[in-house]
Amino acid sequence: MKFIDKRRFKKLLMNQSEPLLIRLGSGDLSGYLTTGNLDQLKTIDVYTIRSETSLKKYAGFPKVLEGLNLMNEKHVKIHSLNDGDNLIVFFTDASVKKLIGYLVATN
């Protein structure tokens, strides 16, 4: 399933308008990691706490939390990439067809 998720994720990134996402999607996605389906409400709880307590500074928490709260689905997947300069954590629907939001932390 990870292979299918990676292929869908790459396509999802390439269909975005932001240069960072397109650049990442055009690469080989080395270091790509993904979760299985996670409960949407538990994910909101965990990332709300992380937004308040994280020692590392992440950009994007408000947009991610807003997107998670507006979802009409019960499950979410989390994907991560490290492009050498940044750790990027992406949130998608369970089918990996909709990007909910992403967090960026500089290494």
In whole angstroms, how large is the CA radius of gyration of the chain? 13
**Mean pLDDT of all residues belonging to the chain:** 91
Say whether pLDDT at 98 is over 60. yes
CB 60 within 8 A of CB 103: yes
For residue 2, what are the contacts with CB-CB under 8 A and spacing of at least 6? 34
CB 89 within 8 A of CB 47: no
State if pTM tops 0.85: yes
Say which DSSP state 90 is in.
Answer: E
Say whether pLDDT at 94 is over 60. yes
Q: Could you report the per-residue pLDDT of 18-66, keeping only the tens digit for each?
A: 998 988 899 888 889 999 999 999 999 999 999 999 877 889 999 999 9
